[in-house]
Structure 1
Amino acid sequence: MQDQKKMTVTQLTLIVAVNMMGSGIIMLPANMAQIGAISLLSWLITALGSMAIAYGFAQAGVFDRKAGGMPAYAEEAHGRSGSFVLSYLYYISLAIANVAIATSALGYLAPFFPWLNSTPVMTMFGVVGLIWITTLANFGGPKITGRIGAITVWGVIIPVAGLSVIGWFWFSGETFSQAWNPKGLSIMEGLGSSITLTLWAFLGMESAAQSAGAVENPRKNVPLACMLGTAGAAVVYILSTTVIMGIVPNADLANSTGPFGLVYAQMFSPMIGNIIMALAALACVGSLLGWQFTISQTGKLAADDGMFPKFLGKVNSMGAPVIGMILIGIVQTVFAFSTVSPSLSEQFNVLVDLSVVTNVIPYIIALTGLMVMMKKEDVSPNIYLRNSVVVIIAVSYSIFALYASGAKSVVGGVLIMMTGYLIYGFMSPRFELAKLNTKTMKE
């Protein structure tokens, strides 16, 4: 009877795919068009690397005795400091990602409100406005936020997945060939210049392992669902970005602030294009609304665990950690100001690169904890070897993604991480006192 209440592998696979496909894809065709269709090759590398990362997290979720997610995986191999730095970096990476999502939403709103894209300053104020509107909307608690996000996400998924199927009727081989390599890049240059863009669309795959307790036969089904869900999202990503580059001329696509609205307008009519633009904008705002709550909850959970300052864990009568929401809203505003660029596309690229760096470092820290977890579980040599190979592939890909992010983004990520170590210096005495008290009580 209990198993009937748990998710099947099919249900979990769909959840994994939907969670990943949110707003991550919505601006990518325009940004990839600036490199050329040669950038599509990076999807293949990213799909392989992302499936390795997803599988590694799925295995960690199965062996994790604390059910504490990535911070718990990190603590296994790197101690309390590794767990803290991971939590801090992941927290900041979500803040940066939220600014990128707000930028995506603004790109789809701009055709309806042209002044939003009139100058870099107006764009910046538009992004900040969306950040604070969605922050304040979360003061009412999680119930409404969850319902809105569950509906609006389909405003992205349906047009993107639909284009993957029906778009081929409008596909032109000539248009695609003209878009292939307008800058004359080598294969490695094409891969390196777009790897962070494609990885951006897969960020969030680590959340799949958190459902292990609600799934039938988790040791088998969680890794399977992670792999199938990631592979399914990869297919939709590859097909949709390929077909759009064979419909819309490369120059038009590269200059678009709403690529999916543009392609539907060309396939059907401007009115249909506007409908898609409105749906995509709504989906991005809904996604931003949900992520604003997620990031505040991430801070609250870390505060409850003693990792972050206690004030981040305080909630109002509706269960919303308002102080934490205001603080992370200020952080996002700082990132919006500091990444102001001549165009929405350029600002999006800057944010994506920095978000990938601050997200991938936690991936590396967490995945390397799997070795300790497997030893504690005394797994068979075959399982240890298989998972070790997967971790090597996942971490190697993550390191390549860091390299491809560019020196500026890597330096920015390292500076953010070093600030985290400074914060940990002030937080660590409480951890040492807690250990000392525990040891005294045992004696």
Structure 2
Amino acid sequence: MQSENTTFKRSLGLLDGTMLVAGSMIGSGIFIVSADIARTVGSAGNLLLVWLISGLMTIIGAVSYGELSAMFPQAGGQYVYLRESYNRLIAFLYGWSFFAVIQTGTIAAVGVAFAKFTAYLFPALGDQNILFAAGSFHISAAQLVSIVLIVMLTYLNSRGVKGGKIVQTTFTLAKLLSLAALVIFGLLLGAKAGVWDANWEHAWIGGTRDATGATVLASTTGVALLSALAVSMVGALFSSDAWNSVTFIAGEIENPKRNVGLSLFLGTAIVSALYVLTNLMYLAVLPMSAIASAESDRVAVAASHVIFGGTGTLVIAVMVMVSTFGCVNGLVLSGARVYYTMAQDGVFFRKAGNLNANRVPGYGLWIQCLWASALCLTGKYGDLLDYVVFVVLIFYILTIGGIFILRAKQPNVDRPYKAFGYPILPALYIVLAVAICVALLIWKPTFTWPGLIIVLLGIPIFYGMRAINSQA
């Protein structure tokens, strides 16, 4: 039943928006994915280059979205931009992918990451503790912990935006400060000249050596290097993803024509800089061989052992718990606003288009909670996320391309903010993203075609939802 409160309350300021951007970006990726990148690209310079390109693309994407957010300062964000630039079908395919995998799958994956690192403190809560098994299906303690986390944060956010923003701002500030502290302590206490010099001895040609001078990784050059860089971008870009979360809650941002775009820039710039500095710290503390071969890819744990000794694992476990807790909260808070706008357009469950007594889309929050929890139980969220990284890039390309389309279609519409560096920077983003997508199609087809299939499944669902809602 729809509440009498039928409009969102604008109660989020610039700090809240910035913390949502930064908090949604930083999950567990920065603590892990550098290991796989190091194995793929084979040198310190190339490792850093991947993170620099990822940061550049993220910031360009964010400042480009600023123009769209100023034109359409309403709930739904990227879904609205695609609808206005193209049509409702394209927008729905994004919204469908967002609900089916992108947002809910990320919530599930980050929630399980929270549980796995919690198990460092309380081993009984780990994924090795199987509570129920039936054939190939099983439920671990980590899965249950992740579901409890999702339900708890959904309940908190269903009670109004105030509680969610307090959690988001508090936990994001905590993890930004702790990540910065890890970098500083690493450079001051753990850095070793021999390790740093060895890592940079052959920084740009793919071969690198450890502190003894022995070659530990094969040289990677030419086409092989380009393919390695492109494939490695998946991990770095995914670690930087969800920066667009603030656009989904534009209906609750004070002075959205200014603050949404500014939040996008500040949040992405802060996180991108921290990511690069974190990888510089890894290279100062660990040989490339140790980065590439870190146990379970936990590079931050390996670095923390060098910096803090035996307490290193505990330090990183607490950091990741704080980081993933805040990340899940940001994803839960923002996601339901997309379903709200889709329901208003008649292409999602109608009740998701209502606000509850606390002026938040409660029904959408609980639908999101149920599906994310189901993905936790399947154990397949990691596979699904691999499939849709390619799809996420496609929708980013389409959305930024929408800036060019809207400049032509609606030249006289008020644009309180115009995309910085237009048309060069938005075009550069599109070129880089297209190049990465082509590389993934060629070199990682198993991670691209399934994602496209998920998107295309949305076409019959779109027409079915429209038919159902038109008869209701």
Question: Scaled by the length of structure 2, what TM-score is found?
Answer: 0.74
In the TM superposition, 1:155-304 aligns within 5 A as 155-169=174-188, 170-176=190-196, 181=206, 182-186=217-221, 187-209=225-247, 211=250, 214=253, 218=257, 223=261, 226-253=264-291, 254-257=293-296, 258-304=298-344
Secondary structure in structure 2 of the residue aligned to 1:387: coil
Q: Does 1:89 align with 2:133?
A: no
Asked whether the 8 Å contact 1:314–1:323 carries over to 2, the reply is no
Q: Separation in 2 of the partners of 1:233 and 1:289?
A: 17
Structure-to-structure mapping, 1:355-434, within 5 angstroms: 355-374=388-407, 375-378=409-412, 386-405=421-440, 406-429=444-467
Shift of 1:13: 5.5
User: Which deviates further from its counterpart, 225-234 or 412-421?
Assistant: 225-234
Instruction: Show CA shifts across 1:381-409 (max 9, x none).
Output: xx699533333222222223333442111
- Measured after TM superposition, the shift of residue 237 of structure 1 is 0.5
Following the alignment from structure 1 to structure 2, what is the Cα–Cα distance between the partners of residues 161 and 87? 35
Three-state SS of the structure 2 residue aligned to 1:268 is: helix
Aligned to 1:307, what secondary structure does the other structure show?
Answer: coil
CA distance in 2, matches of 1:80, 1:398: 23
For residue 30 of structure 1, what is the aligned residue in structure 2? 35
SS of 2:346 mapped into structure 1:
coil
Unpaired segments ≥5 residues, structure 1: 340-346, 435-443
What does residue 136 of structure 1 align with? 151
State the distance in 2 between where 1:390 and 1:422 align: 36
The structural deviation recorded for 1:423 is 0.7
Letter aligned with residue 326 of structure 1: L
* Structure 1 counterpart of 2:425, one-letter code: V
When you count helix as a share of all residues, which structure comes out higher? 1
1:61-97 C-alpha deviation (Å, 9 max, x unpaired): 1222766421221112321111111111222211222
Unaligned 5+ residue runs, structure 2?
Answer: 1-10, 131-135, 207-216
More deviation, 223-232/45-54: 223-232
CA distance 1:115–1:252, change in 2 (3 Å): farther
* Aligned pair partner of 2:349 in 287, 298, 309: 309
Match of 1:325 in 2: 369
Identify if the C-alpha distance between structure 1 residues 357 and 282 changes in structure 2 by more than 3 Å, giving closer, same or farther: same
d(CA) in 2 for partners of 1:223, 1:133? 34
Computed over aligned residues only, the root mean square deviation of the Cα atoms, in angstroms, reads: 3.9
Tell me, yes or no, if structure 1 residue 105 matches structure 2 residue 114: yes
Q: Aligned AA for 2:39?
A: Q
C-alpha spacing 1:292/1:224, structure 2 compared with 1 (3 Å): closer
Identify if the C-alpha distance between structure 1 residues 218 and 138 changes in structure 2 by more than 3 Å, giving closer, same or farther: closer
CA contact (8 A) 1:197 1:353 kept: no
1:394–1:124 Cα change, 3 Å? farther
Contact 1:22-1:153 at 8 Å conserved across structures: no
Secondary structure of residue in 1 paired with 2:286: coil
Distance 1:162 1:211, change over 3 A: farther
Identity of aligned residues (%): 18
The question of whether the paired residues in 1 share the 8 Å contact of 2:108 and 2:375 is answered with no
Task: Identify the residue that residue 440 of structure 1 maps to in structure 2.
Answer: none
- Pair 1:191–1:400, CA change in 2 (3 A): same
The count of residues paired between Structure 1 and Structure 2 equals 417
Q: 1:56 to 1:110 in 2, by over 3 A?
A: same
Q: Report whether the alignment pairs 1:39 with 2:79.
A: no
Is the 8 Å Cα contact of residues 23 and 283 (structure 1) preserved in structure 2?
yes
* TM-score normalised to structure 1 length: 0.78
Q: Residue 198 and residue 408 in structure 1: after superposition, are their counterparts in 2 closer, same or farther (change >3 A)?
A: same
